[in-house]
Chain A
Amino acid sequence: MQKAYNSKYLEYVSKISPKTNEKRSLLRAFFVGGTICLIGQFIRFFLEFTFGLYGDVLSGTTSVILIFIGSLLTGLGVYDRIGKFAGGGSIVPITGFANSVVSPAMEFKTEGFIYGLAAKMFVIAGPILVFGILGSVSVGIIYYIVGLF
């Protein structure tokens, strides 16, 4: 009885919740995500030919510039508008990582500069750093052990 009740409720929820046009959202994600990567490639190209950067410095500087742009656009309120349009296309690029740092930090600034702003910067970025570092150390240790033989 309980289950039938739940399924009726779920049916009702899915009937009234707004339908996302799935094909269109895929196209938007593709277009915006691709454009952000295209901008990244353009920055890379510009740095390489204007300042002669290469290797780690080139890719590092490109990331720094993209993160700067992403956090500035978030501060200006532009990135959230792009995000509403692009979904995954604005989340996955490194600018989306910057957005996930700035957005909650701005929101919780009223709770102070230490426990509000500085702590909330890592609501989404924290797990990324935790799993990123855990993963990287695991890979490093496996390669070290394999390298011993």
Chain B
Amino acid sequence: MTDVLLMFLKAFLVGGGICTVAQILINYTKITSGKILVYFLLAGIFLQSIGVYQYLVDFAGAGATVPISGFGYLLAEGAIKGAENGLFGAFTGGLIAASAGVTAAIVFGYLNALIFKAKSKKN
């Protein structure tokens, strides 16, 4: 039971930590949020390509996989595993690994945008 609680704590701390890094970038560099997402994604791909992000995933679970850098991790990990089966695997592995997330974003994104109306922006 303590293992489970510890895992929850680690997910909270690591996930919160990654988001804090993003907030620091927003506060001090004025990078727009769309660019932040791309940079964090590329950071996840890079860190997994040198084998580092896996340690973070093993340590923090969802704390490392839920941020967008975890999506990059998934893409890189899929490509690396695919590369073991040849060039075609290297080409398709990333998107195969990320297919659930991409499909969900498109399907649920389209349906929700179809159902709901944009609220007038009140500040």
- Which A residues are within 8 Å of any B CB, using their own CB? 20, 22, 25-26, 28-38, 40-45, 56, 59-64, 66-68, 71-72, 74-77, 80, 86-89, 91-98, 100-102, 105-107, 109, 113, 117-118, 121, 123-125, 127-129, 131-133, 135-137, 139-144, 147
Inter-chain contacts of B78 with A (CB < 8 A):
136
Partner of A92, one of B18, B61, B115, B117: B18
The 7 A-B pairs of least Cβ separation, nearest first, read A37-B15, A33-B19, A34-B16, A136-B94, A140-B90, A140-B79, A88-B22
Chosen A-B contacts, 18 in total, with CB atoms closer than 8 Å, are: A26-B23, A26-B27, A37-B67, A40-B65, A42-B8, A62-B65, A67-B105, A72-B108, A92-B67, A95-B66, A98-B104, A109-B113, A117-B114, A124-B37, A127-B34, A132-B94, A136-B98, A140-B90
Q: Chain B at the A interface: mostly helix, strand, loop or mixed? A: helix
What's the minimum C-beta distance from B71 to chain A, rounded to whole angstroms?
7
- Which B residues are within 8 Å of any A CB, using their own CB? 4, 7-8, 11-27, 33-34, 36-38, 40-42, 45-46, 48-49, 60-63, 65-72, 74-76, 78-80, 82-84, 86-87, 89-91, 93-95, 97-98, 100-106, 108-119
> In the complex the two chains form, is A93's CB within 8 Å of B104's CB?
no
